[in-house]
């Protein structure tokens, strides 16, 4: 603040500089920068109103403080007067607030600006040439002046008193000025001022860098609208002028060295820029807490982070944005997610440093909030990109790393997964050492060498998985805790689990082998697998989709590690086998089911025959009870299983009572929980014969296609009709897809022209019979007669009424008649009298 | 009715329609100069116009409201009125003076003495007394001051001249002002009082020989009877002195005229439009034309006059016989249709039915009218299905069936309409699924939309076997699936159940397999029931609901209704495939759910029906399994699969079939089954 007020004073001093004095003569204590001088020498001041300047000329230095106080007062009052217009337009697009520089380099002014220019045509030229703060303030006075013209008397008065004590004079004038300015004008003025400043900044940032201070001070305004405008204008300016490098603090040594004027100028520029930027960010962060400015502040921060992730103070920006990832405001959250995603994707802008920072911040955030965040905050991780070979030369790197810093590990927060401590420590060490090296490297070069890049990515990865594991652990502990709670709202208690599992699936190839066992155990538990002794699977509070996702992730992890891992995934098959029956079309996500079928069954190489048979039977039954999309996914899987396990093809045939193959279970039990005990091999796939009648042509043709396998010999496969995996098949047939497809063209129905005879098709013959029995003659007569009577009564009534009215009016006429008669009598009498007279 | 019309309207008619009537009369005069015309024959013209206009207004009004109700679903209706021959006809037929008129006063049953003792009669009596009193008063005044009589006369004549100035056509003397009455020829048949004897004589004459000139007289009498009361101060009112007479004329003409005209024109019972059109140019037509026209037009007048449902349906039944005769007069038939559709949509069942039968007759016999019929019927249906409550579900169902009947007359033609309508439904659905906005969703979540879908489902069911309607079929299917997808959740269970019923219907007619259970899982899912007992039983009736009110969601009744409805549709599904070789597999998953529900539910009343369904399904499952164990064919042997258990199916003796029949029967009386 001290700085700012200082600069303000500087400006004031400039304003009150007597124009007749040449700038070089000015030996004021305030230092005058080169551009100021330049400006003064360039601009003629004759168009300035003489009066206000005159007024200030005589001012002594002691009055400065007084004037400032008055200015502040005026601001306050303005702010008081203004609030009612705030509602009019709260958000002003930065595009409107600032002039636009078009391709030709000409400045295009917005409307407000134009209005402004008309007002001060005299000064427009100078503005365009690069007006600076002084100009703006001068114009303030001008405007005030022009408004004052009405009360010219007063001005003259003050002018005549110009010789009397100056302090009083100043306050008088200021008082008047602020009285005259209406709130609206003030707003317009500020807007225009912002526009001018911004435009100047954009045009020549080097020479006008100090305008940033003014803009900052404007955005300290009491008027919220003005503040928003100021923030947006500053954002636009910063977006434009922030350099593509990070500004470094000068060392003592460097400062001591004598530098050329050019360098000095640049240093000054950078210094001001960084100072203002810092102030701006501080302002944003403080405003973010006010609900009124919340979205504006976040928007500004997002935009800044998006454009300048390499620049100074990125950390605070990232912290704010990451915090708002789980904002309850949808718009803000979307904005933050987009920003973080763009940070992840455009790593070239910041060499991946921001990525790691962001991931860490989110990780901390998840930790702090005990995993109760909006899913979006984790979903952004899916946009992370890692090099494919990241995991490979890890071991080699590890050897290089010294084992010195082991003690540091103890200070760390307890790891969510205490396994593989050793590995973690190592990685930690690697990263620590890397960081140091990085710092040096960064100073030297712009490009990252692959090693460094790998290091950063590895760190990111570890933070990422730390988050994921934390969420998994958390889900496990809570699901155990709440095992007795009802399962009305599955999924609600673990908002982060779904995106977490998705992420694990996506990055499964990067998971450290040492984690694998733990992870699989964790997933097994989450997927609802119980050792058959402890209660029903309902104890699990996870939704069916989430449990299926667990299975999918387990398989992905296993498969992406070249299936080298020696884990028993049998339990997941059992899970899936049971989960298929729990699936509900509207509650659960069909895509997850299809994905599970694809991952577990379709992509698998060789299946156990018993298990395959059990799945085949269950999928066929499943297809009978569920919609076409689910059915086709099941059938695609089924067909694949039959192709892979040719022995199961016996199920397609009915050999003397059930399946031909002898197995443990002689009779198929559809409700069995264990695929091995269901006796699937003993069953016949009768379902397919009904599925051939399915309304959906693709399902029915798939069913017949599968049935055609029966006649082929085991090595032959039927003509492929649908060469897609279950997931694609599901998507193709889902009703959303169907509805989003353009409506089919006008149907052309080619019907045999056949006119139906007289027979009825839809109406119940009983109903028809009822109509034919004619109305009873007696009843009809009565009804018709009463109808007639009513009509007659009505007409009679009407006739009588007319007659009555006629008679009544005739009687009434009698009165009239009497009156007339009397009149006649009177006139007669009068006439008689007249005659007599 | 006539009273309701009011004097203003009549005045308006007199004022505005008279010039047209006059012009028409003049034209007629030029044409029919040779024909002897009695005075005052045109007097009825304006009355006729009056009725016509009123009817038009009434139908227009209903049309307007209907338009406002239906948003975008209805077919565009172009109301081109062929007014040309509306006004060129004169209801009155010149009579043969040779016909006997019996003037007797044997009319014993006066109106006053008739069964009717309603308020009007008493009022009339009161008024009579009043008039008498006032007249006495006036007479006293007149007696007291004879000069007043002169004054009064002067005033009255002033009034007259004022009135005649008002009605520019007054001097024509054609109008039925009270004091103009005497200007009519005393011998005019208009004023000739009809007696029962006269009518009986005429009837006999006509019955003996249809060509008898008495037919003219009879039809004139019929005309007057039909318009009785329309124009209260008309002289023709005086022609009817007894209620019997009125009945005699109307019943005779209605019941006999069809035979008479057919005899006159020498056409058979199954004459079609072409024959009539050919006849029009023949010589035979000329003398009959005015008679026929008069008869038809007057019958329509009668239809628009009558208010009693029974008589209306009687008239309609009679008129139906001569439906084909309307083909000669397009404008009359379009007017007929307007009246018919109004009556059809009315709530009374027998009247609706007779109106519909007439509509169907007209649509079948007059190909020109088919388009109009289809459009109007569809729009009327949509307008009357806007609101559904417990009472009108049956009526709507009836209307829907009627519509299907009508659309099945010419499937080729109606298919185009069906495609248009289903296209509209589909477009609305797509829009809603794209935006997911409340407003768009509301366009689907309403009765008009659902009833419209239901209509086409029914249409498909009736015609699927005989025609290749596959493209339409798949479109309708898509709409049903889309709607089910767009409205998930417990609240929309009634809507969903309706869709499932539709799917069941489609499945039955097309013999295709639909995975019904996937839409019913929500119903079979166990839900918490709110613990607090409701004090009064709230009746949850799914047939008149699309969306369950929120306060009922956790109620016991809702849960109960839910499960019972699900059992209903599920057993329909099972019943359809109960003889199929893979029935055990069809039932597997639903059975698991049913068992779970049976274990978990806390509602006592549900235990029994659920258990019963489980047992029945299990029994049938065992039955099929036993049967299929002994067969030797494989699933890929289509022919064998199709013939599996066909004998049992045709005999229909399996326990599940009987079970389903009993379920369907049980549900019907409770009025819960909509379809």
Encode pLDDT of B108-127 as tens digits.
444 444 444 456 667 777 87
Q: Is the pLDDT of residue A514 over 70?
A: yes
How many beta-carbon pairs below 8 A join chains A and B? 337
Question: Which A-chain residues 729-748 have CB contacts (< 8 A) with chain B?
Answer: 735-736, 738-740, 743-744, 746-748
Closest chain B residue to A768 measured between Cα atoms? B353
Ordered by start, the domain boundaries in chain B are 191-325, 329-399, 550-674
Section A172-193 average pLDDT = 72
The 8-class DSSP code of residue A128 comes to: H
Chain A CB contacts of B134 under 8 Å are 804, 807-808, 811
What are the residues facing A101 on neighbouring strands? A107
- Cβ proximity of A585 and A623 under 8 Å: no
Q: What is the pLDDT of residues B451-497, one digit of tens each?
A: 899 999 988 888 888 787 888 888 888 889 888 888 887 888 888 88
In a domain, A277, yes or no: yes
CB proximity B514 to A under 8 Å: yes
Last residue of a domain, one of A331, A357, A383: A383
Disruptive mutation site among B636, B639, B675 for chain A (greatest number of A CBs within 10 Å): B636
Interface of A with B in 783-802 (CB under 8 A): 783-802
pLDDT at A340: 85
- A441 or B519, which is more confident: B519
Sort out which chain B residues have CB atoms less than 8 A from A786's CB and list them.
114-116, 243
| CA dihedral sign, ordered B521, B524, B526, B532 | positive
* pLDDT, mean of residues A45-58: 46
The alpha-carbon gap from B411 to the nearest alpha carbon of chain A, in Å, equals 7
Answer positive or negative: Cα dihedral of A759, A762, A763, A765. positive
pLDDT band for position A529 (50/70/90)? low
* Backbone φ/ψ region at A264: left (φ over 0), alpha (ψ -120 to 50), beta: alpha
Q: Among A738, A798, A814, whose Cβ lies nearest the Cβ of B3? A: A798
Residue A815 has a pLDDT of: 78
Task: Quote the domain boundaries for residue A296.
Answer: 178-383
CA A209 to mean position of chain CA atoms: 34
**Complex ipTM:** 0.72
Which B positions 204-263 lie with beta carbon below 8 A of chain A? 228-229, 232-233, 237, 240, 243-244, 246-247, 250-251
Which member of A690, A746, A789 has the closest CB to residue B243? A789
Burial of A229 (0-12, 13-18, 19+ CB in 10 A): buried
Chain A residue closest in CA terms to B457: A762
pLDDT at A133: 39
Interchain CB distance below 8 Å, A792 and B250: no
Residues B362 and B340: beta-carbon distance below 8 Å: yes
Q: What is the mean pLDDT of residues A463-467?
A: 84
Tell me the pLDDT band of A332, cut-offs 50, 70 and 90.
Answer: confident
CB contact under 8 Å between A658 and B629, yes or no, is: yes
A117 pLDDT above the threshold of 70: no
Residue A131 confidence (pLDDT): 38
* CB-CB neighbors (< 8 A) of A737 in chain B: none
The Cα–Cα gap between A241 and B442 comes to 51
Q: Highest mean pLDDT: which of A56-65, A186-195, A553-562, B528-537?
A: A186-195
Q: Which two tokens stand for residue A640?
A: 């694949």
Judge whether B47 is closer than 8 Å to chain A, CB to CB: no
Query: Which CATH number characterizes residue A217's domain?
Result: 1.25.10
- Give the list of residues 6+ apart from residue A75 with CB closer than 8 angstroms, or none: A221, A222
In this structure, is residue A602 part of a structural domain?
A: no
pLDDT computed for residue A746 by the predictor = 53
Interchain CB distance below 8 Å, B635 and A685: yes
Q: Which of B485, B585, B597, B627 is the best mutation test for A, with the most CBs of A within 10 A? A: B585
Residue at A327 is within a domain:
yes
Distance CA A798, CA A800 (A): 5
Is B83 in a helix, a strand, or coil? coil
CB proximity A817 to B under 8 Å: yes
Q: Give the residue from chain B lying closest to A694, CA to CA.
A: B513
Q: Which one of A627, A787, A802 would you mutate to disrupt binding with B, by most B Cβ within 10 Å of its Cβ? A: A787
Q: In terms of CA atoms, which chain A residue is nearest residue B592?
A: A671
Q: Is B317 on the interface with A (CB under 8 A)?
A: yes
List all residues 6 or more positions away from A757 whose beta carbon is below 8 Å from its beta carbon: none
Give A654 to chain B, closest Cα distance, Å.
5
Alpha carbons A80 and A74: distance in angstroms, whole number = 10
Q: What is the pTM of this model?
A: 0.68
Q: Which of A 566-595 lie inside 8 A of B, CB atoms?
A: 581, 584-587
- Please report the residues numbered 656 through 715 in chain A whose beta carbons come closer than 8 angstroms to any beta carbon of chain B: 656-658, 670-671, 684-695, 707-708, 710-711
pLDDT of residue A110: 46
Residue B247 to residue A785, Cβ atoms within 8 A: yes
pLDDT digits (tens, 9 = 90+) for B148-190: 777 778 877 887 777 766 554 434 434 333 333 333 333 444 5
Mean pLDDT of chain B: 72
Q: Report, as an integer, the average pLDDT of A311-330.
A: 82
- The stretch B19-25 carries a mean pLDDT of 48
Across the range A736-740, mean pLDDT stands at: 74
Residue B420 vs residues A22, A677, B74, B470, B484: alpha-carbon distances, Å: 86, 54, 10, 15, 22
C-alpha R_g of chain A: 44
Q: Is residue A819 part of a domain?
A: no
Q: What is the pLDDT of residue B106?
A: 43
Residues B534-542: what's their mean pLDDT? Answer: 63
pLDDT band at B94 (very low <50, low <70, confident <90, very high): low
pLDDT digits (tens, 9 = 90+) for A595-652: 888 888 887 766 678 888 888 888 898 988 888 888 888 888 888 888 888 777 778 8
State how far the alpha carbon of B582 is from the alpha carbons of B61, B513, B616, B622, in Å.
57, 12, 16, 12
Instruction: Report which listed range, A425-429, A612-616, B210-214, is most confident.
Output: A612-616
CA distance A538 to chain B (A): 13
The continuous run of DSSP H or E covering A107 comes out as: strand A107-108
Q: What are the tokens at A584? A: 């509900």
- Stretch A30-43: mean pLDDT: 48
Asked if A810 and B434 come within 8 Å (Cβ–Cβ), the reply is no
Query: Which residues of chain A have a CB within 8 Å of the CB of B350?
Result: 770-771
Residue A776: the pLDDT is 66
The verdict on a CB contact (< 8 Å) between A799 and B233 is: yes
Nearest to B243 among A744, A770, A785 (CB): A785
Nearest residue of chain A to residue B153 (CA atoms): A810
Q: How far apart are CA B361 and CA B373, in angstroms?
A: 11
Q: Which residue of B121, B350, B468 is in closest CB contact with A793? A: B121
A444 pLDDT higher than 60: no
**What is the C-alpha separation between A803 and A362, in angstroms, rounded?**
97
- Interface contact A785-B244, CB threshold 8 A: yes
Specify the pLDDT at position B408: 83
- pLDDT (tens digit, 9 = 90+) per residue, B295-324? 888 888 888 777 777 778 777 877 777 777
Kindly state the helix (H) or strand (E) to which residue A59 belongs, with its residue range.
none
In total, chain A counts a number of residues equal to 837
- Residue B141, chain A, CB below 8 Å: the answer is yes
Which of B151, B458, B629 is closest, CB to CB, to A657? Answer: B629
User: Among A356, A383, A410, which residue terminates a domain?
Assistant: A383
Domain-embedded: residue A448? no
Q: Tell me, what DSSP letter sits at residue A182?
A: -
User: What is the domain count for chain A?
Assistant: 2
> Averaged over B223-233, what is the pLDDT?
67
For residues B394-412, give the mean pLDDT. Answer: 84
More confidently predicted of A410 and A801: A801
Q: Is B189 part of the contact surface with chain A (CB cutoff 8 Å)?
A: no
Question: Which of A340, A363, A383 is the last residue before a domain boundary?
Answer: A383
User: What pLDDT score does B107 carry?
Assistant: 42
């Amino acid at each position: 603040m001290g700085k700012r007020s200082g600069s303000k004073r500087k400006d004031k001093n400039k304003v009150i500089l007597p124009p007749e004095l040449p700038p070089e003569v000015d030996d004021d204590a305030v230092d005058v920068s080169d551009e100021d001088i330049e400006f003064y020498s360039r601009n003629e001041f004759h168009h300035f109103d003489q009066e206000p300047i005159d007024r200030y000329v005589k001012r002594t230095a002691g009055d400065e403080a007084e004037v400032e106080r008055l200015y502040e007062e005026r601001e306050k009052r303005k702010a008081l007067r203004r609030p009612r217009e705030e509602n009019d337009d709260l958000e002003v697009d930065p595009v409107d607030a600032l002039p636009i520089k078009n391709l030709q380099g000409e400045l295009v002014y917005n409307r407000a600006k134009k209005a402004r220019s008309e007002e001060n045509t005299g000064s427009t030229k100078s503005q365009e040439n690069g007006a600076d703060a002084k100009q703006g303030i001068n114009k303030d006075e001008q405007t005030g002046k022009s408004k004052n013209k009405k009360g010219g008397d007063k001005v003259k008065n003050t002018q005549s008193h110009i010789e009397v004590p100056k302090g009083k004079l100043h306050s008088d004038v200021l008082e008047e000025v602020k009285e005259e300015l209406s709130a609206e004008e003030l707003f317009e003025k500020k807007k225009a001022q912002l526009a001018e400043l911004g435009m100047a900044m954009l045009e020549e940032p080097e020479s006008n860098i100090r305008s940033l201070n003014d803009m900052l001070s404007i955005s300290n305004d009491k008027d919220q609208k003005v503040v928003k405008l100021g923030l947006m204008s500053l954002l636009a300016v910063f977006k434009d002028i922030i350099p593509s490098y990070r500004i470094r603090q000068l060392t003592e040594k460097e400062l001591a060295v004598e530098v050329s004027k050019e360098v000095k100028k640049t240093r000054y520029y950078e210094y001001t820029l960084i100072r203002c930027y810092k102030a701006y960010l501080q302002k944003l962060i403080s405003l973010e807490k006010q609900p009124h400015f919340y979205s504006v502040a976040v928007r500004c921060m997002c935009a800044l982070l998006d454009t300048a992730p390499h620049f100074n103070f990125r950390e605070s920006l990232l912290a704010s944005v990451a915090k708002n990832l789980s904002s309850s405001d949808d718009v803000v959250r979307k904005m933050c997610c987009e920003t973080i995603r763009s940070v992840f994707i455009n790593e070239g802008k910041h060499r991946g440093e921001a990525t790691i920072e962001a991931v860490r911040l989110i990780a901390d955030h998840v930790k702090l909030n005990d995993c109760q965040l909006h899913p979006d905050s984790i979903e952004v991780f899916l946009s992370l990109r890692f090099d494919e070979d990241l995991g490979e030369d890890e071991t080699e790197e590890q050897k290089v790393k010294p084992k010195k810093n082991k003690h540091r590990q103890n200070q760390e927060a307890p790891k969510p997964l205490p396994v593989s401590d050793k590995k973690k420590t190592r990685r930690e060490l690697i990263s620590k050492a890397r960081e140091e090296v990085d710092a040096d490297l960064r100073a030297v070069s712009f490009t990252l060498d692959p090693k460094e890049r790998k290091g950063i990515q590895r760190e990111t990865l570890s933070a990422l998985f730390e988050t994921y594991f934390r969420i998994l652990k958390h889900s496990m502990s809570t699901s155990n805790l709440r095992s007795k709670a009802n399962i009305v709202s599955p999924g609600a208690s673990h908002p982060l689990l779904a995106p977490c599992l998705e992420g694990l699936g996506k990055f499964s190839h990067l998971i450290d082998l040492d984690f694998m066992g733990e992870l699989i155990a964790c997933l097994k538990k989450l997927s609802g697998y119980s050792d058959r002794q402890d209660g029903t699977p309902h104890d699990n509070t996870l939704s069916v989709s989430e449990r299926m996702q667990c299975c999918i992730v387990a398989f992905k992890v296993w498969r992406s590690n070249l299936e080298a891992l020696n884990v028993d995934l049998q339990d997941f098959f059992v899970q899936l086998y049971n989960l298929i029956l729990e699936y509900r079309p509207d509650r659960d996500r069909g895509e997850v089911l299809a994905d599970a079928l694809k991952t577990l069954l379709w992509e698998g190489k060789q299946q156990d025959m018993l298990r395959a048979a059990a799945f085949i039977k269950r999928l066929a039954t499943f297809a009978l009870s569920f919609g076409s999309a689910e059915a086709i996914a099941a059938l695609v899987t089924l067909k694949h299983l039959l192709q892979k396990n040719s022995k199961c093809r016996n199920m397609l045939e009915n050999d003397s009572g059930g399946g031909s193959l002898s197995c443990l279970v002689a009779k198929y039990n559809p409700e069995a929980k264990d695929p091995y005990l269901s006796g699937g091999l003993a069953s016949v796939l009768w379902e397919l014969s009904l599925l051939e009648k399915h309304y959906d042509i693709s399902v029915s043709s798939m069913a017949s296609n599968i049935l055609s396998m029966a006649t082929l010999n085991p090595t032959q496969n039927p003509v492929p009709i649908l060469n897609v995996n279950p997931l694609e098949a599901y998507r193709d047939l889902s009703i959303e897809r169907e509805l989003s497809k353009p409506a089919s063209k006008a149907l052309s129905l080619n019907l045999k022209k056949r006119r139906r005879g007289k027979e009825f098709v839809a109406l119940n013959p009983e109903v028809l019979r009822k109509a034919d029995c004619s109305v009873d003659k007696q009843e009809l007569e009565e009804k018709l007669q009463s109808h007639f009577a009513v009509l007659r009564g009505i007409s009679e009534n009407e006739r009588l009424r007319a007659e009555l009215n006629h008679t009544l009016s005739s009687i009434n006429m009698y009165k009239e008649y009497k009156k007339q008669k009397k009149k006649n009598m009177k006139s007669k009498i009068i006439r008689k009298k007249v005659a007599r007279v | 009715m006539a009273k309701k019309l009011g004097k203003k309207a009549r005045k308006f008619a007199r004022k505005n329609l008279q010039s047209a009537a006059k012009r028409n009369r003049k034209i007629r005069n030029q044409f029919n100069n040779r024909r002897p015309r009695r005075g005052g024959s045109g007097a009825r013209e304006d009355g006729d116009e009056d009725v016509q206009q009123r009817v038009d207004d009434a139908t227009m009004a209903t049309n307007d409201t209907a338009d406002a109700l239906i948003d975008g679903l209805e077919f565009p209706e172009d109301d081109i009125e062929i007014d040309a021959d509306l006004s060129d006809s004169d209801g009155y037929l010149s009579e043969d003076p040779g016909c006997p008129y019996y003037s007797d006063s044997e009319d014993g049953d006066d109106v006053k003495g008739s069964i009717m003792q309603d308020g009007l009669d008493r009022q009339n009596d009161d008024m009579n007394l009043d008039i008498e009193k006032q007249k006495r008063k006036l007479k006293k005044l007149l007696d007291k001051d004879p000069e007043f009589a002169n004054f009064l006369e002067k005033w009255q004549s002033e009034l007259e001249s004022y009135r005649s100035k008002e009605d520019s056509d007054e001097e024509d003397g054609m109008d039925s002002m009270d004091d103009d009455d005497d200007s009519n020829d005393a011998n005019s048949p208009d004023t000739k009082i009809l007696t029962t004897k006269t009518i009986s004589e005429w009837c006999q004459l006509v019955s003996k020989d249809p060509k008898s000139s008495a037919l003219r007289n009879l039809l004139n009498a019929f005309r007057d009877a039909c318009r009785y009361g329309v124009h209260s101060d008309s002289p023709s009112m005086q022609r009817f002195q007894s209620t019997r007479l009125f009945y005699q004329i109307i019943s005779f003409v209605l019941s006999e005229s069809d035979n008479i005209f057919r005899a006159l024109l020498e056409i058979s019972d199954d004459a079609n439009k072409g024959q009539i059109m050919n006849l029009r140019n023949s010589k035979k037509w000329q003398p009959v034309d005015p008679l026929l026209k008069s008869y038809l037009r007057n019958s329509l007048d009668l239809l628009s006059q009558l208010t009693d449902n029974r008589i209306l349906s009687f008239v309609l039944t009679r008129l139906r016989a001569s439906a084909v005769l309307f083909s000669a007069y397009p404008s009359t038939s379009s007017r007929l249709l307007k009246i018919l559709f109004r009556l059809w949509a009315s709530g009374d069942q027998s009247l609706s039915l007779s109106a519909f039968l007439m509509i169907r007759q007209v649509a079948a016999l007059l190909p020109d009218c088919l388009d109009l019929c289809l459009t109007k019927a569809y729009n009327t249906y949509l307008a009357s299905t806007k609101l559904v409550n417990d009472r009108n579900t049956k009526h709507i169902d009836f209307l829907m069936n009627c519509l299907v009947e009508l659309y099945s007359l010419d499937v080729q033609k109606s298919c185009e309409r069906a495609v248009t309508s289903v296209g509209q439904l589909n477009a609305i659905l797509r829009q809603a699924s794209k935006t997911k906005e409340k407003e768009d969703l509301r366009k689907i979540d309403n009765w008009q939309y659902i009833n419209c879908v239901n209509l086409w489902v029914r249409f498909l069911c009736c015609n699927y076997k005989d025609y290749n309607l596959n493209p339409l079929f798949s479109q309708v299917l898509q709409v049903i699936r889309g709607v089910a997808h767009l409205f998930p959740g417990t609240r929309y269970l009634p809507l969903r159940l309706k869709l499932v019923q539709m799917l069941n219907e489609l499945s039955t007619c097309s013999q295709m397999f639909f995975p019904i259970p996937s839409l019913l899982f929500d119903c079979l899912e166990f839900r918490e029931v709110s613990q607090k007992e409701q004090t009064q039983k709230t009746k949850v009736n799914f047939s008149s609901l699309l969306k369950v009110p929120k306060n009922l969601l956790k109620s016991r009744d809702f849960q109960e209704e839910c499960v019972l409805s699900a059992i209903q549709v599920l057993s329909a599904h099972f019943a359809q495939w109960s003889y199929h070789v893979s029935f055990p597999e069809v039932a597997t998953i639903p059975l698991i759910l049913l068992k779970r529900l049976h274990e978990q539910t806390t509602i006592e009343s549900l235990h029994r029906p659920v258990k019963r369904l489980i047992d029945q399904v299990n029994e049938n499952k065992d039955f099929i399994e036993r049967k299929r164990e002994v067969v030797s064919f494989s699933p890929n042997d289509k022919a064998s699969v199709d013939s599996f258990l066909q004998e049992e199916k045709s005999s229909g003796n399996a326990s599940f079939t009987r079970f389903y029949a009993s379920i369907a029967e049980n549900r019907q009386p409770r009025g819960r089954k909509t379809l």
